[in-house]
């Protein structure tokens, strides 16, 4: 009797599609299974290679299937798409996943532990709260502008309006709009308090995890950035070198070379957008420090700012910081200026 050696599983909310083949490529099954039947189904199958797209709940199922003896590998959905022959159905997707997982050059996503996902949940909620706060402050600007009250750029000016409204001091607008403004100001205050709470939780975790403490020694990397990086990539050993990690973050130039001519464009902006944004924000603070206290930053930063625009220099610094972070994580040693 032929035995299944590779399975491609297409996840969904309630119904999963599984495509199983033998060692010689013979298709044994391509069928849907209910979510509640999934574990029992795989327990009846001898240990084999299982491919899953890295999507919602993928890490959970990878842990569950690994626990019962299977070799589970997660893949980015964009890397699986080229193997879809035609159309878009669950059966076709499962077949493409089964094909992609056997490719020798395929890149896989490390399976995250429950602890990593717990820390990332703090970052996801904090990021959501920050976006909601930004949306609300922009709505306050728009409301006041309709009555000729122009608020200066930056969050500080809006927070002054919020504080004034909390003290009962309102701009010269109709009473009906004052009630609306008070509701929005109260919402900003609540969101600000919640963001500060999550900042404290993330900071507490960064003091417990030794790897986060090592990453924090890199200039421009604070507790939020260090915690997010460690929770996402762990010890960083899945990357061959620091440049590969920087490329994964989308901080390397887009290569469009052809015919022996090298053409490099702007950064690719692929990979984890959240980590990339945190690194760029951190390096922006380094630029501000260099402008105010040039003796407190690395001379390389000063030379870079002399010949490059600020935003271009910030991206270059984020690229270099990513490489340094990888070196710090993989070597398990603190950042040293002389080594940089």
Q: What is the spatial distance between Cα 271 and Cα 238, in angstroms, rounded to a whole number?
A: 14
Q: Binning pLDDT at 50, 70 and 90, where does residue 2 land?
A: confident
Read off the pLDDT of each residue in 330-336 and give the average, rounded to a whole number: 91
Mean pLDDT of the chain: 92
The pTM for the full model equals: 0.87
3 state SS of 48: coil
Give 67's contacts (C-beta < 8 A, 6+ positions apart).
none
Q: Is residue 49 scored above 50 in pLDDT?
A: yes
> Quick one: pLDDT band at residue 339, thresholds 50, 70, 90?
very low
φ, ψ dihedrals at 290, nearest 5°: -65, -35
Average of per-residue pLDDT across 265-274: 86
Residue 340 confidence (pLDDT): 43
Q: Does domain 6-100 bear CATH number 3.30.420.10? A: yes
List Cβ neighbours of 296 (8 Å cut-off, separation of 6 or more): 289, 290
Q: What percent of the chain has pLDDT over 70?
A: 99
Q: If you average pLDDT over residues 183-187, what whole number do you get?
A: 94
Residue 325: pLDDT above 60? yes
pLDDT tens column, 224-249: 999 999 999 999 999 999 999 999 99
Mean pLDDT computed over 264-269: 82
**Token pair for 38:** 């999934």
Cα(304)–Cα(286) distance, rounded to whole angstroms?
12
Q: What is the DSSP-derived secondary structure letter of residue 81? A: G
Q: Which residue has the tokens 């590779």?
A: 6
Q: Do 268 and 245 contact (CB within 8 A), yes or no?
A: no
Contacts of 217 (CB under 8 A, 6+ apart): 328, 334, 335
User: What is the rounded average pLDDT of the residues 198-221?
Assistant: 93
Residues 133-157 have a mean pLDDT of: 91
């Amino acid at each position: 009797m032929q035995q299944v050696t590779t399975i491609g599983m297409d996840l969904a909310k309630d119904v999963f599609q599984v495509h199983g083949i033998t060692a010689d490529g013979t298709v044994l099954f391509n069928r849907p299974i209910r979510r509640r039947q999934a574990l029992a189904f795989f327990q009846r199958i001898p240990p084999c290679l299982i491919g899953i797209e890295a999507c919602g709940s993928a890490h959970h199922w990878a842990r569950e299937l690994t626990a019962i003896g299977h070799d589970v590998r997660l893949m980015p959905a964009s890397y699986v798409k080229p193997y879809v022959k035609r159309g878009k159905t669950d059966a076709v997707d499962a077949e493409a996943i089964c094909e992609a997982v056997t490719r020798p050059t395929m890149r896989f996503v490390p399976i995250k532990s429950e602890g990593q996902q717990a820390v990332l949940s703090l970052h996801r909620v904090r990021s959501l709260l920050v976006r909601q706060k930004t949306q609300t402050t922009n709505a306050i600007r728009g409301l006041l502008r309709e009555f000729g009250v122009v608020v200066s750029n930056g969050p500080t000016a809006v927070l002054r309006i919020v504080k004034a409204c909390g003290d009962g001091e309102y701009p010269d607008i109709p009473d009906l709009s004052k009630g609306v403004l008070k509701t929005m100001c109260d919402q900003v205050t609540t969101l600000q308090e919640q963001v500060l709470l999550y900042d404290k939780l993330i900071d507490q975790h960064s003091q417990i995890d030794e790897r986060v403490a090592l990453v924090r020694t890199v200039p421009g990397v604070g507790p939020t950035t260090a915690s997010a990086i460690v929770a996402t990539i762990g010890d960083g050993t899945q990357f061959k070198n620091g440049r590969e990690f920087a490329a994964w973050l989308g901080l390397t130039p887009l290569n469009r070379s052809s015919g022996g001519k090298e053409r490099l464009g702007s950064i690719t902006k692929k990979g984890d957008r959240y980590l990339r944004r945190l690194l760029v924000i951190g390096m922006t603070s380094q630029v501000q420090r260099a402008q105010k206290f040039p003796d407190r930053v690395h001379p390389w930063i000063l030379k870079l700012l002399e010949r490059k625009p600020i935003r271009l220099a910030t991206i270059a610094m984020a690229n270099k910081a990513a490489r340094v972070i990888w070196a710090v994580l993989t070597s398990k040693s603190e950042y040293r200026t002389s080594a940089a």
